[in-house]
Structure 1
Amino acid sequence: MIRVIGWDIGGANVKAARLLFTDGHAESGRAVRRYFELWNGRDRLRPLLQEIYSDLGSADAMVLTMTGELCDAFDERAEGISYIINTVREAAPAIPLYAVDLEGRLVRLDREEADLLTIAATNWIAEALVLASRQPDCLMVDIGSTTTDLIPILNGKLAAQGKRDIERLARGELIYTGALRTPVAAIVSQIPVRGTICRIAAEYFAISADVYLALERLQPEDYTCATPDGREKTKEGALRRLARVACEDSKNLTAGELHALAAYIAEQQFQQITEGMFQVLSRSENGLHLPVVPVGVGTFLGETCARRLNLTTCDPPALTECGSVALSPCAAAAYLLGETLSHE
């Protein structure tokens, strides 16, 4: 029996999954997700990791992926990577720690220190590698709280052209738009109101979570990040924040006008994502025939975008035999490590 924990430490969320392997198979497991603003108190990361580790249970080995090194708590990404590695080590000392690198390899961190920048922002690699073993031809559309990953998989291999974030941004494989935390001003610069095109305030008044809460595509419990105004996570609160984008009070706009405002912003975000999908799929002769596997907290957005392109969708695979853990970066990293250790 091998117990493995996978960590995915981002700038706004800490995610972890613990899988139990028996005879080379992941029998059971559990995953957790905690909203945590790394840029707003990095010293609180270690106690949070200790709490999660205690909650999940002990492990024989751990594996790390991250995107939090990019947040402005750190002057450089290498500083952030080093800080996150050391904090994970301190939270669960004496447990072998691995990381997924840009080539999809598992690197043991406490034997020979890796080139730090080769283990930055590799969570999408772990996830896509596991998916490729289950769905050899597809487009993985992972829409998280902040970003969207578009990863083509052909003949069981990752067909992504970019590895580092700057390359992935240029090739349409990484889009900085998500289902929860994206400021409305990063989605639109203007909105239609009462038959006119109205420019908006480029302020942090509302985010994508407000859009989808207003449209009832998200429930209040799905709104796991902080609200821009620090107030309630209700439909009424979301509409108030959205009205402020037009420098107005929600009481001065009708219910229909507020709904139309939210629907327009959602439509523009769909277009951001489908534009990236077109770019990525255009590289393959049969790209527009690939099935889409939507994952992440924005799965509903991925499904909508796939329908817009008339593409079929497939459910992501469960990673345990009992179906208790779905595909995610932390669970995928744990799965890769558990399989490797089981066959050593």
Structure 2
Amino acid sequence: MIRVIGWDIGGANVKAARLLFTDGRAESGRTVRRYFELWNKREGLHPLLQEIHSDLGSADAMVLTMTGELCDAFHDRAEGVAYIIDAVREAIPGIPLYAIDLEGRIVRLDGGEADLLTLAATNWIAEARVLASRQPNCLMMDIGSTTTDLIPILDGKLAAQGKRDIERLAHGELIYTGALRTPVAAIVSQIPMRGVICRIAAEYFAISADVYLALGRLTPEDYTCATPDGREKTKEGALERLARVACEDSKHLTAGELHALAAYIAEKQLQQITEGMLHVLSRIENGLRLPVVSVGIGAFLGEACTRRMYLTTCDPPVLTDSGSVTLSPCAAAAYLLGQALSHG
């Protein structure tokens, strides 16, 4: 038996998956997700990693992906990558540590990393590599709390044109919009209100989690990030925050007006994602015939976009024989390493 932990360390979440392999097959496993503001208290990463490791159990090897190196706790991305690697090593010493690089390779981190930037923002690569082995022709849509990844897979290979984030932004494969943390002011600049078009306050009053909590698409338990006002994660709290977007309070807007406000913002975010899908698929012959695999906390948004484009959908693959773990970046990284060690 081989026990592997995959880490996905972002700026706002730390996610991990522990898989158990026997004869090259992932028999069982479990995942853990913790909201953690790396930019706000980076020294808290070390104890959090220890806590998660204790929760998951011991491992024979670990593999790392990350996006947290971009957060403004660091002067540059290389500093961020180095800090995250060191935090994992120091928090959980004595276990072989690997990482996924920009080429999709599994790299042993033995202290001699030459180019730290090749290890930055690689979580989507791990996920897409595993999906490509299960669904050789598709569009992977991973809609997380903050971003959306759109990765075409053709003939079992990743057909992404970008690797680094700036390239992926330029090619439409990375969209900075997500189901939880996106400020409403990054989705809309104006709203329809009482028969007129009303500009909104460009303030951090409400986020996408408030929109979907108000619409009943997310539960309070799904609202894993901090609220903009530090108050409760309830439908009433979400409506109060959304009202502030129009420089009003919820006592002076009707329930119908607040629901319409949330629905309009949701519609505009769907348009952002749909536009990205068309951008990516437009360069692929018969791209609109590719099935779509939607994953992430915002998978419901991906499914809605897929329906409105009349595309077919495929369920995300289950990675363990027990059915306990489905596709995610941390689980995909663990799966790749577990297979490599089993057959190595």
| Structure 1 Cα separation of the partners of residues 134 and 309 of structure 2 | 23
Matches for 1:310-329 after TM superposition, within 5 Å: 310-329=310-329
1:54 aligned partner: 54
C-alpha separation in 2, matches of 1:209 and 1:232: 12
Find out whether 1:264 has 2:264 as its counterpart. Answer: yes
Alignment of 1:175-190 (within 5 A): 175-190=175-190
- The aligned amino acid for 1:220 is P
Q: Equivalent residue for 1:93?
A: 93
Counterpart of 2:304 in structure 1 is 304
Give the TM-score normalised by the residue count of structure 2.
Answer: 0.99
3-state SS of paired residue (2:153): strand
Give 4+ residue runs of structure 1 displaced > 2 Å after superposition: none
Structure 1 pair 127–175 and aligned structure 2 pair: CA distance change class (3 A)? same
Aligned partner of residue 216 in structure 1, secondary structure: coil
Q: In structure 2, what is the Cα distance between the partners aligned to 1:4 and 1:92? A: 13
Matched, 1:233 2:233: yes
Rounded Cα–Cα distance in structure 2 between residues aligned with 1:157 and 1:221: 36
Rounded Cα–Cα distance in structure 2 between residues aligned with 1:21 and 1:233: 39
SS in 2 for 1:128: helix
> Residue 5 of structure 2 aligns to a residue in which SS?
strand
Quote the residue 1:192 is aligned against.
Answer: 192
Name 1:333's counterpart in structure 2: 333
Instruction: Find the aligned partners of 1:160 and 1:114 in 2 and give their Cα distance.
Output: 25
Q: CA distance change for structure 1 residues 62 and 166 in 2, over 3 Å: closer, same or farther?
A: same
Residues 126 and 332 of structure 1 are in contact (CA less than 8 Å); yes or no, is this contact kept in structure 2? yes
Q: Deviations over 1:67-107 (max 9, x none)?
A: 00000100111000000000000111011100000000001
Counterpart position of 2:17 = 17
TM-score using structure 1 length = 0.99
2:273 corresponding residue in structure 1: 273
**Contact 1:180/1:225, CA 8 A, preserved across alignment:** yes
Q: Tell me the amino acid that sits aligned with residue 252 of structure 2.
A: N
Aligned amino acid, residue 130 of structure 1: V
| Corresponding residue for residue 342 of structure 2 | 342
Please give the secondary structure, in 2, of the residue aligned with 1:218: coil
How far has the Cα of 1:286 moved from its partner? 1.0
Task: Give secondary structure in 2 for the equivalent of 1:203.
Answer: coil
Query: 1:244 corresponds to which residue?
Result: 244
Q: What is the deviation of 1:113? A: 1.5
Q: Are 1:15 and 1:33, in contact at CA under 8 Å, matched by a contact in 2?
A: yes
Matched-pair contact (CA < 8 Å) for 1:107–1:114: no
Cα separation, 1, equivalents of 2:308 and 2:206: 26
> Offset at 1:114?
4.0
State the alpha-carbon separation in 1 of the partners of residues 33 and 50 from structure 2: 14
Give the distance between the partners of 1:114 and 1:314, measured in 2 at CA. Answer: 39
Where does residue 121 of structure 2 map in the other structure? 121
Contact 1:291/1:313 (8 A) holds in 2: yes
Instruction: Provide the C-alpha distance between the structure 1 equivalents of 2:148 and 2:306, rounded to a whole number of angstroms.
Output: 14
| Two-structure CA RMSD over aligned residues (Å) | 0.6
Cα 1:71–1:111 change in 2 (3 A) is closer
Counterpart in 1 of 2:3? 3
Distance of 2:300 and 2:22 partners within structure 1: 34
Could you list the per-position Cα deviations for residues 11-38 of structure 1 after superposition, in whole angstroms to 9, with x for gaps in the alignment? Answer: 0000000000000100000100000000
Give matches, 1:31-110, under 5 Å: 31-110=31-110
Give the match for residue 174 of structure 1.
Answer: 174
CA distance in 2, matches of 1:168, 1:284: 16
